[in-house]
A = this chain, B = another copy of it.
Amino acid sequence: MQLPSSLLENAVNEFSRLPGIGKKTALRLVLHLLKQDVSEVLQFGDTISRMRQDIKFCQRCLNISDADICSICANSSRNQHLICVVENIRDVIAIESTQQYNGTYHVLGGIISPLDGVGPDQLSIEPLISRIQKEETEELMFALNPNIQGDTTIYYIQKKIQQFSCKVTTIARGIAFGGELEYADEMTLARSITNRLPIGQYVK
């Protein structure tokens, strides 16, 4: 694609380096920005730059934060002895949007995946262990994606913390609400049968 201006070409190249955005989509986005007011586009560029420069990661749970300690960790009305272990920040946002969880988080920054070259050392597992020790955590709840890598990560961390008197749980796996039994995969259906719940607990 031959572009009539090097300024335009640079902008298209920058956009097309974002995930899921090819050259044609990048051009569409850049031409859209060209139609906007100069001030709006300057604000766009400035907001992105400032976000990257000024954003912090919570020193305790590694969640994204405007301050040294994130708003969740700093909230004393939340249960500070319950830690939910998640893979990334998107999972924090997903769980927070349920408004059903009142503890803190710990963001691993990935999951153990030897095929992708990700081992335990690249994840924030050591900080999690020292945090459990220091804060006398009562419960560690895993909310990792249900796959082999997720299960491996759970198994690894569980082994590492078995000397502490910390309860270890994982979010329930089973048939999703609105799902249909006949289309569920065998593994999910089998697990949901093994882990069946008393009706009283289900409707609670």
Chain B residues, CB < 8 A from A88: 31
Q: How large is the interface on A (under 10, 10 to 19, 20 to 34, 35 or more residues)?
A: 35 or more
A159 beta carbon closer than 8 Å to chain B: no
With A55-B7, A55-B8 as given contacts, are A48 and B64 in contact (CB-CB < 8 Å)?
Answer: no
A residues at B contact (CB < 8 Å): 1-8, 10-11, 14, 18-21, 25, 27-34, 36, 38, 41-55, 63-66, 70-72, 88-90, 92-93, 96-97
> Is B36's CB under 8 angstroms from A41's CB?
no
Q: Which residues of B contact A20 (CB under 8 A)?
A: 25, 28
Instruction: Give the copy number.
Output: 2
> Is the pair B31, A90 in contact by a Cβ cutoff of 8 Å?
yes
**Residue of B with least CB distance to A109:** B35
* Complex CA–CA separation, A38 to B90 (angstroms): 21
